Structure 1
Amino acid sequence: MATPTLTRPAPSVTTGNSPKIRQPRKKLTVGRIAAIVVAAFIAVLWLIPFAWATATAFKTETDAAAPDVTWLPPSGFTPEAFVKVFQDGNIPLWTWNSLYTSAAITAITLVISALVAYALSRIDFKGKKVLMTVIIASIIIPPPVLIIPLFYQMLALNLIDTSWAIILPQVIHPAMVFVLKKFFDQIPRELEEAAVMDGASRLRIFTQIILPLSRPILAAVAIFVFIGAWNNFLWPFIATNDGNLLTLPVGLQTIKSAYGIQYAQNMASALLAALPLIVVFLFFQRQIIKGVATTGLAGT
């Protein structure tokens, strides 16, 4: 008696006109619902200060300084604070200064950090462990401690009151070197060994194999470095005295009134400084999440 054979149906090939197969929706479990509720609660907590700053920025100075806390001002909303900020300061110039200095810091930091991280991950050389120890130890050094030595260094190089005085001291990020090094450690060495057998040089392996595989973490590092450079106030404030070189955080602090604290104007200045970063996050949030998820820190 012949044994019946079981045959699997041939997989259907979908064309451009064929309907797409819908993926089954994930079931809402108790844990998933709890995670959504917690995430929504945290999002609301984060949005409340931002909403309050926005509402205050569109108030008159009288309503903003009133002792009674109200979301809806009696005099109504007005863009007077934003107009005042633009009249008293050179917002376009300050924004441009912040943009190109932050972009330069990000680009140089990526090049230096990636090269150092690759050397620490793939090349054996004398003093490697000592160098790695110094890099890890330097992460815990507070940046304000280095301000005086960096200032004298820039002064000796005649770079004070130049854009390079803002850029160069901010291109060394030991934390970014450590993160990239841990990511490079996870890339299989077999890929490099195959490339070496094909006659590829170390530089070609780095540029054509390692970097393309590291796009998520490189994007995350670039965004974090850009945000840090954009928000940096103390060092650009110390390194430059020329009004044409002021970055946006420093320039906005020069807009002060002789009548005390102007709450609406201060909130308007803070929103103007944060707006570019919000736009960057909205456009690159996937890269940020993917980069953080693949930093390679799980095993450390």
Structure 2
Amino acid sequence: MTATSASSPSASSSSSSLSSPASVSARPAAGPPRGRRWLPFSPWHLLLAPLTLIFAIPLIWLLLSSVMSNAEINRFPPALWPSGIDLGGYRYVLGNAMFPRWFANSLIVSVVAVASNLLLGSLGGYAFARMRFAGSRVLLGLMLATMAIPFQLTMIPTFLVMKRLGLIDTLGALIVPSLVTPFAVFLLRQFFLSLPRELEEAAWIDGCSRLRVLFLIVLPLSRPALSTVAVLTFLTTWNDLTWPLIAINHDTQYTLQLGLTTFQGQHHTQWSAVMAGNVITVLPVLLAFLFAQKSFIQSITSSGLKG
């Protein structure tokens, strides 16, 4: 007992000396992360900045070509920089009497497709994520399998269906096939699976129905996924050319992409007008993506957490 009591003060003194302020202050301070001592940004930016410039070259070339004259565009070797700002292409495009109509047609088709995909995709995604019914997994697998079918195999059956419905040569032929897509249902389902069930169960205890839970609780928490679906759907329908080229015959029902093809004739092409029209066409898509960029990245990362 005496030896044990005698050794305890020395042990306590040694432990107190190890934890004393002097010893703590003697420890080397943690320096800045390695690689950031001489750079105000991440070293990865040295690799990403040139890659970004490479991907931006086509857009920069499109913008520069839109302010060139036809002679400069057709010159060989091609001019890398315009000698002056020539807005003839923009005047030609905006002076076309049908251009506002084409722009409105594209806007109508894209907005309706976005709204329907958000509504129907949310309903389908929530059903697959939270409801269990006979054949739900089989039905989900069949729906996802349709994403692997190329459009070239479905355009003829789709055309025949639209013809039976009497929608050929109308905007309805462009809207109906895009009302809901398997990708929208799948992406929203994946995001709904990442949400905690406790919030929905608390709402059920309070007497909320499934639809009220979806619209009042789940969808407000799913803004990143909804933004992603909206941007991708808008991008797809706005830039679609193949299906409008098949389903639309009259120029009053042309979309913007289909209308721009009229500037390319058999013997002469207004390249400055084509470039200017493409700049005007790209702007809404670019602005939509920049506006929803943060939500887009957040949705892509979070929707892959659970299968």
Match of 2:35 among 20, 26, 29: 29
Residue 265 in 1 paired to residue 273 in 2?
yes
Partner of 2:101: 93
Q: TM-score, normalised by structure 2?
A: 0.83
Q: Note closer, same or farther for the CA distance 1:265–1:27 as it changes in structure 2 (3 Å cut).
A: farther
Runs (5+) with no aligned partner, structure 2? 1-31
2:101 and 2:80 map into 1 onto residues whose CA distance is 33
1:227-242 → structure 2 map (5 Å cutoff): 227-242=235-250
Listed as ranges, the matches of 1:149-298 within 5 Å are 149-257=157-265, 259-294=267-302, 296-298=303-305
Residue 129 of structure 1, aligned match among 125, 130, 137: 137
In structure 2, distance between residues paired with 1:188 and 1:287: 19
1:42 matched to which residue of 2? 51
C-alpha deviation, 1:67, in angstroms: 0.9
Of Structure 1 and Structure 2, the greater helix share is in: 2
**1:126 is paired with a residue of what secondary structure?**
coil
TM-score by length of 1: 0.84
Equivalence map 1:1-40=2 (5 Å): 29=35, 33-40=42-49
Aligned residues of 2:69 and 2:272 also touching (Cα < 8 A): yes
Corresponding position of 2:11? none
1:43-68 deviation digits (Å, cap 9, x = unpaired) = 21122221112112211111111111
Structure 1 residues 218 and 122: alpha-carbon distance in aligned structure 2, compared to 1, 3 A threshold? same
1:89–1:251 CA contact under 8 A, matched in 2:
no
Larger radius of gyration: 2
Q: Quote the offset at 1:299 in angstroms.
A: 4.3
Matched, 1:67 2:76: yes
Q: Structure 1 residues 150 and 69, CA, compared in 2 at 3 Å: closer, same or farther?
A: same
Deviation digits for residues 79-102 of structure 1 (CA, Å, limit 9, x no counterpart): 112222233452211111111110
**One-letter amino acid of the counterpart of residue 297, structure 1:** G
Identity of aligned residues (%): 33
**2:98–2:252 contact (8 Å) kept in structure 1:** no
Determine if the alignment matches structure 1 residue 84 to structure 2 residue 97.
no
CA distance in 2: counterparts of 1:218 and 1:148, whole angstroms: 31
* Deviating more after overlay: 47-56 vs 108-117: 47-56
Report the AA paired with residue 66 of structure 2.
Answer: A
- Determine if contact 1:160/1:240 at 8 Å carries over to the other structure: yes
The structural deviation recorded for 1:258 is 5.1
**SS of the residue aligned with 1:130?**
helix
Q: Distance in 1 between matches of 2:259 and 2:166?
A: 23
CA contact (8 A) 1:105 1:171 kept: yes
Deviations 1:93-151 (A, max 9, x none): 11111111100011011111111111111111111111011012111111222111111
Instruction: Check 1:254–1:89 CA distance in 2 against 1; reply closer, same or farther (3 A cut).
Output: farther
